[in-house]
Amino acid sequence: MSSAGLQQRVGAVAESTLSEHLYSVLVSTMIPTQPHVVRGIPLRQLLRHFPSYWWRGKLGHLHRHSVQVAEFDEFWSHAWSAPACPKIANVLLLHHGLPASVLASAAAIVVCLSTRFGHLPPLGPTGAGWCTISACVVNYLTLLLWQSRQTVFFDLASINQSDEELKSHGIASLGAMLKRSRRMVVFWHSIYTSRLWCMYELATFVGSRPPGTRASITVCPPLLGVLRLGFQFGFVLLMFLFEPVFLVGGRVPVFVVAFCCLLGAGHAARSYWRDVDTMEQQASQFTFAQSTCACCPVGEGCDKPYCDRRILFSCIASLFGSLASFEEQVRTRERKALSHQLRNRSITYSHIVQATLPGLWLACDFMSRWPAEEALVELAETCTDLLVIYPFAVKIALRLTHALRARCGRACLDFMVSVAVTAVGVFLVGLPYLVHAFVVQEVISSPLNAQLTTLGLWSIPAILLWQCLPDLQPLAVAPSKTDSGGPPDSTGGSADREDQKDLAVNKESL
């Protein structure tokens, strides 16, 4: 039956409550019950109203700001019970991070040129000045206030939470909304693979792509946004405090503080890789029966008239052929897709450059005061640091934390492993400086040519690392052969197979 025909038929039953079977048929056909229930929320509206509604505990009011859409730029898949703040940090960096970095750096360059040409007096003889200050202001304002044009599916805003009938139509149109989404963003959390709705959304999105096309999925680990913001903020503080601390206590206090911060990052990275391992282990043993659902606890009967678990069972039977087929897909294809994203795409070259950009802003302050020749050398050195050396060192350090992620028996031994990994990372940052000072500068007398030579020299291993290093592979785990059992019913046992026959009849009648 055509989309219009199905919608007309649904309209006829809209006055009465939708049955569970009708729900499942509508979800699985990926056709909306009514065009107006396909609703997205402009990202700028979501970010504007989310804080106040969240504070007042009225997130359902976000639906007022949703609009009818033909398709979504993004479908957001997340576990409700996961903390909200890390998700917000990830959303801000995912959509506003790049414009914030570009505009902040442009502001630093404009202020640098204004100071050089005498339009702005320099702020002090040395250290961070107008360039760093203006770049910071522009960076954080853009991060908060950038007006994205994207429209997203966000369950609390896209599905009416107060009107039961509209809510039922929204849930029944979920398949249609998944099919009409260009990209899926997974706000991953360690509980994600145990949530039935989450795994259903992921599997359905992948299955709804046209043949031959690859599903576009971005996975955001919970602490990624927080760590990126924290790292950049720490870098900004270092830019402002380096000169005063250096003048008072010399290099040692600066080095100790920086090393402690990097040690925390190294320890967190090892913990992150272990979380990915746990996710893979959980996903490899995924069963419908053991997956969690907000509607009713695992293993207990559900007396609600519309049980999510029963509805999803019917949807899965219709979309994937059988429960076993769905579970197998989660244990293999979805597990590997999540693992690939979390191991190889969660921290990118662009993320590292953006996090270390305060180094460019400080260099703009130096260049605004120094003679032209020294300013050019400073520019070349900053480009070497930000574009080559830091990404080179971080890539190797990340691989090292992955290789040494296993927790050691003793806490002190585990701590020493993190210290050793961090020390290697610091050495990798220092190595190019040593080579430059004791080799390149001895051979090439011109400071600018020497710096450009160092830039070219270290670009080769950096490019090879980021372009040619093989991806990390998923764990070689044996998929569980656990019997998933039959469909859930209102008494908690296996329902009669007549359910599936009825489903087929309902589908035919539509």
CB of 295 to Zn ion, least distance (A): 3
Report how far residue 335's alpha carbon sits from residue 348's, in angstroms, rounded to the nearest whole number.
21
Which region, left, alpha or beta, applies to residue 250 given φ > 0 means left and ψ of -120 to 50 means alpha? left
Judged by beta carbon, residue 295 or residue 448, the one nearer Zn ion is 295
The pair of three-digit structure tokens given for residue 463, joined into one six-digit string: 């490019």
Judged by beta carbon, residue 138 or residue 199, the one nearer Zn ion is 199
In 3-state terms, what secondary structure has residue 398?
helix
Q: Are 92 and 51 in contact (CB under 8 A)?
A: no
Residues that bind Zn ion (CB under 5 A): 295-296, 302, 307, 309
DSSP letter at 187 equals E
CB of 293 to Zn ion, least distance (A): 7
CB of 18 to Zn ion, least distance (A): 16
Judged by beta carbon, residue 53 or residue 313, the one nearer Zn ion is 313
Long-range contacts of range 319-328, CB-CB < 8 Å, 24 or more positions apart? 319/27, 319/28, 319/175, 319/204, 319/207, 320/203, 320/207, 323/288, 323/484, 323/487, 324/484, 326/203, 326/288, 327/286, 327/287, 327/288, 327/484, 328/479
Judged by beta carbon, residue 133 or residue 295, the one nearer Zn ion is 295
Q: Are 382 and 112 in contact (CB under 8 A)?
A: no
Judged by beta carbon, residue 307 or residue 393, the one nearer Zn ion is 307
CB of 312 to Zn ion, least distance (A): 10
CB of 306 to Zn ion, least distance (A): 8
Q: Are 134 and 390 in contact (CB under 8 A)?
A: no
Angle (nearest 5°) at CA 346 between 268 and 467: 115
Report how far residue 93's alpha carbon sits from residue 382's, in angstroms, rounded to the nearest whole number.
23
CB of 20 to Zn ion, least distance (A): 10
CB of 490 to Zn ion, least distance (A): 9
CB of 292 to Zn ion, least distance (A): 11
Judged by beta carbon, residue 81 or residue 126, the one nearer Zn ion is 81
DSSP 305-364: SS-HHHHHHHHHHHHHSSHHHHHHHIIIIIHHHHHHIIIIISS-HHHHHHHTTHHHHHHH
CB of 477 to Zn ion, least distance (A): 30
CB neighbour burial string for 247-283, b if at least 16 within 10 angstroms, e if fewer: eeeeeeebeeeeeebbbebbbebbebbebbbebbebb
Judged by beta carbon, residue 161 or residue 346, the one nearer Zn ion is 161
Judged by beta carbon, residue 20 or residue 74, the one nearer Zn ion is 20
Judged by beta carbon, residue 69 or residue 302, the one nearer Zn ion is 302
